[in-house]
Structure 1
Amino acid sequence: MATWITICDTCKHDPEDGAGDGARLAELVETAARCTDLRTRRVSCLMGCGHGCNVTIQSAGKLCYTLGRFAPEAGAAEAIVAYAVLHADSDTGQVPYRQWPQGVKGHFVTRHPPLPPA
């Protein structure tokens, strides 16, 4: 099953320049994920505005995580992708803390159990 990184592209939207931090982070995550088997997609609002910039990491049958409070920087995008690779390699989606990239520590907002199979 594919592991998805869903990026809110409307986080901290700046009407003055027509973009915002979410769109900038989305571009960086998409670039960082190009050489992986991860899938990315953008959505307009993950409803975590108090934690923007937000992403979710999810795969069928695994724990799903929402992370936020990122700056739109290459280092953040690389840490998100590195964590998502570990999530993809895990049977349950749970990654031991000692393996977390430094750039995602302190950014976890929620964890959701997988949906039941039926």
Structure 2
Amino acid sequence: GSATDFDEDEWFTTLKKAYEMEQLVMDHGKIMDHYDPDKRIGMIIDEWGTWYDPEPGTNPGFLYQQNTLRDALVCALHFHIFHRHCQRIHMANIAQTVNVLQAMVLTKDEKMIL
């Protein structure tokens, strides 16, 4: 759906899907615990974050996406999961930083929003 035009059901669906990260981490952790019970090898979560339909009027290939409070809560939920499993998760990288997907910085010409 849309990054900025969503209803209550989409709000809860997004958070529910974000929470699925917990099960993914636990399932992979169990497998890793079988082969590495001393937790010498860390898990890396790469390119996590939200990804919605392209913004109207933008190039779909550039994946421009405005954040909302919903995305901030997804981020907080993921951080909570990553910290709760820090014995196994050694690194986690948000998908993008500037102008793409769940970006923390958006720019357009001389304008910038954090």
Instruction: Indicate the TM-score class for this superposition, using the shorter chain for normalisation.
Output: under 0.3
| TM-score of the superposed pair, with normalisation by structure 1 | 0.25
Richer in strand (by share): 1
Q: Which has the larger radius of gyration?
A: 2
